[in-house]
Structure 1
């Protein structure tokens, strides 16, 4: 899919997503590898040879899913031997490395594809290095840590002609397709407002960086774990999970859950770049008299409002995290579950409303009695093989041969939108000394940030642009 411009702003084309699946269902001829050749082309008669970068936790489950299909896990790479232990045991024939750069240098002729499931700050550099070698890539959500990185990976996927997929599994689910069919049939009219929310974070946020250092655990290469991030001493309880709450490494609740919750409205409504964003965040108090200022840490809660140009008019999308939720729709019964309980999305249109949970699950028209009355034909092909096998099969078929649910030309713009919300959150805490010399001003608060999407730039508050693209630590670059 490609981004298209019309007189109402940038939209994501849904032509290929709306196909009936004839292409995906079509058979193929068995062709020897040497006939196809070249980057991005793997013979349909072969199994996919996959290397995993980050193979503990979610990375462990990712490669296990690939292995259920016509894929062989031939190389493992992780900076932490302890986290990698289960995968090493499960795939004893796979070679093992700690540095993905060394792994790609030595093994690129022995692999066809790479799965990246590292902390967010390492996604882009690992994926770009693999794509530049002509390797297909599967990258966990969010696709990248920065807006700039997302744009670069999206462009690289086309340049190097590789098969790509982001790890937002709901994109292959039935729920988002049901929502699209209802919306396309006009059951709720033109959507003008969307509410998205999550009960996360479930990790610490709104904290000062720990002052006490700790001994690096045996088996963890801390310098490689830091990667692109600034050099810091190891501290307890940062790995393997709590890094999500620190801007140097993670992307907070929005980065973690936005690709699962914002994805349905982004896809259903064909959203492109937002035109503006504004945010408010929860405060942290270190004692009863002093408010904390911890810009290195994501806030404990936030509310972001982003505006988009829709085909039928402006669309306002609300994001809420840290337990903040929108008001319950009047059409929802007092004991009916909103979303999936802790997470969800509500679409408000000119003729009605609809709702879903995480991944687009539990799609429902509101009031729920409308679900039994709605008779809408299935027009969008489902993905019976699931998100993981869809990517494996597409890699085997070769670039451009099969449809995918979250290729980078969809996942990239979605990630940019998610990270635009984080840009607004981080801009809220930009502070400068007052001219009087006493106290601070916060010029990013209480304003609407105007976003030039094609050029990746805030046009009315330049200090916010520092969050579009970060500087890497010496020795790290985004590609060659």
Structure 2
């Protein structure tokens, strides 16, 4: 692949001016080749995908299908997972280690997508931003609260275009709910319920004891990345890692950035002031009720308090997973679906209520008969393609560049996605504090000092102020050889 030595800012200016020469190659003017709608190769965003299988495969494809992107590099630690992307983009350079890719191919890359397990998001995104590359990072933005804060700060420091992969934030549904709320249809919000049927992977279980041979297509050490070293188990890759705290963020990490985002946007929420939780007992055949702190619970109920934020009012915010759901509102008919069944959102106000499904889809006023009967003016700009245009929105913003006249604000830049992710991860901090245990002074059994209390949260300083052991879950220690670089 021919390397373009033009730096990021110069190349952005170059693309805007529509110059005809790039790295010594003559480019025929677009008007000659295909009219005003034609995009010359030199105008395209050059993307590297870190994580090329699963969700990474679809993220890379969606960027490419925008028509304004070229996939120039792929990186994955598992050749089995990356196969389809490598076959679709055979000209893209292929790497196993993202650090090697950024070292060798930085000059030919404008932007990076990160679609890997949660525990490696931050180091991969930060490495790209520090080289001036725009980044698209799958939800949740990070594994830890501290990492989310640092990525949010880095996006501003390095002046790059960012987007988190919660595509519902580009949908029409959340914009419709903002318009309803601003029109006063439900009054002042005071209570929010969010729920999901996740986890749909094993949680609340002991770490597997069998250690089979590592598949030849997988670099297990690179997959572990920042996490503590453990012998390979086939239970974890490629999907069940979500249920283990070393790698994933459980049901909250999987779905809360999709489900909590609509009420966060509608109400303009920031940092919670406190958190509390209850979790389901873990049970495993032949074990009975047991303690497995490496794995998330099978179900939980988180309550976050937001003081003086929604138009100066307090909001009580409930998250429920594992199939737990709030009581059906009386305004909802007995045969009407609440949310989309397994997932949903209800926002309660002083004058009424509204509800939506996953990703903010299918917004409804309650009772639902009001939805079609009431019309409010459209004040929120829509994203072309809705949720399906989420990646294209990022691609086009990268090409325009921050600060340009062509630049359009994104749906989930890190300035929005970072604080949202911090609140999502605050729920996991509460769960892990609930499970924290200390040996009794007599050596007989354990105490659980984090249970049955409200954790008071200082958001700006990222600190629990009334239970010090909880602060170990704000920021984890990386394995030797790995660093966030800040």
Asked if Structure 1 and Structure 2 have the same fold, meaning a TM-score greater than 0.5 normalized by the shorter chain, the answer is yes
Match of 1:16 in 2: none
The answer as to 2:474 corresponding to 1:476 is no
1:86 aligns with 84
Q: Which runs of 5+ in 2 are unaligned?
A: 19-42
Deviations along 1:394-447, whole A, 9 cap, x unmatched? 000012332100000000000000000110011110001123332111011010
Match of 1:175 in 2: 173
Aligned residue number for residue 400 of structure 2:
397
Q: Is the 8 A contact 2:47 2:111 kept in 1?
A: yes
Residue matched to 1:351: 351
Q: Who is 2:149 aligned against? A: 151
Residue deviations 1:169-204 (CA, integer Å, cap 9, x gap): 000000000000000000000010000000010000
Q: Unpaired runs of 5+ in structure 1? A: 1-32
TM-score w.r.t. length of structure 2: 0.90
144-153 or 369-378: which moved more? 369-378
Give the direction of change, closer, same or farther, for the CA distance of 1:275–1:352 in structure 2 (3 Å limit): same
1:3 corresponds in structure 2 to none
Distance 1:212 1:183, change over 3 A: same
Distance 1:284 1:36 in 2: 51
Relative contact order, CA 8 A, sep 6+: which one is greater? 1
Question: Secondary structure, in 3 states, of the residue corresponding to 2:140?
Answer: coil
Asked whether the 8 Å contact 1:253–1:321 carries over to 2, the reply is yes
Distance in 1 of aligned mates of 2:394 and 2:306: 30
Once the two structures are overlaid, the 10-residue window that deviates more, 34-43 or 124-133, is 34-43
| Whole-Å separation in 2 of the counterparts to 1:332 and 1:104 | 53
Distance 1:269 1:231, change over 3 A: same
2:125 is aligned, of 121, 124, 127, to 127
- Residue 46 of structure 2 aligns with which residue? 49
Aligned residues: 448
Tell me if structure 1 keeps the 8 A contact 2:12–2:399: no
Aligned partners of 2:361 and 2:186: how far apart in 1?
18
Shift of 1:34: 7.2
Give the structure 2 partner of residue 7 of structure 1: none
Could you say what the CA RMSD is over the residues aligned between the two structures, in angstroms? 1.6
Tell me which residue corresponds to 1:10. Answer: none
**Structure 1 position 135, deviation (Å):** 0.1
The offset of 1:317, in angstroms, is 0.4
Partner of 2:35: none
Task: State the Cα distance separating 1:39 from its structure 2 match.
Answer: 9.0
Deviation by residue 1:40-76 (Cα, 9 ceiling, x = unmatched):
7673341100000000000001000001120000100
Equivalence for 1:4: none
Displacement of 1:287 after TM fit? 5.7
In structure 2, do the counterparts of structure 1 residues 264 and 110 end up closer, same or farther at CA, with 3 Å as the change threshold?
Answer: same
Deviations 1:285-323 (A, max 9, x none): 346884210000010000000000222321000000000
CA distance in 2, matches of 1:423, 1:301: 15
**Distance change (3 Å), C-alpha of 1:124 and 1:39:** farther
Cα 1:397–1:187 shift into 2, 3 Å = same
- Cα shift readout 1:337-376 (whole Å, capped 9, x = no counterpart): 0001110000000000000010000100000111122120
- The TM-score normalised by the length of structure 1 is 0.91
Secondary structure of 2:215's match?
coil
1:146 offset after TM fit, Å?
A: 0.2
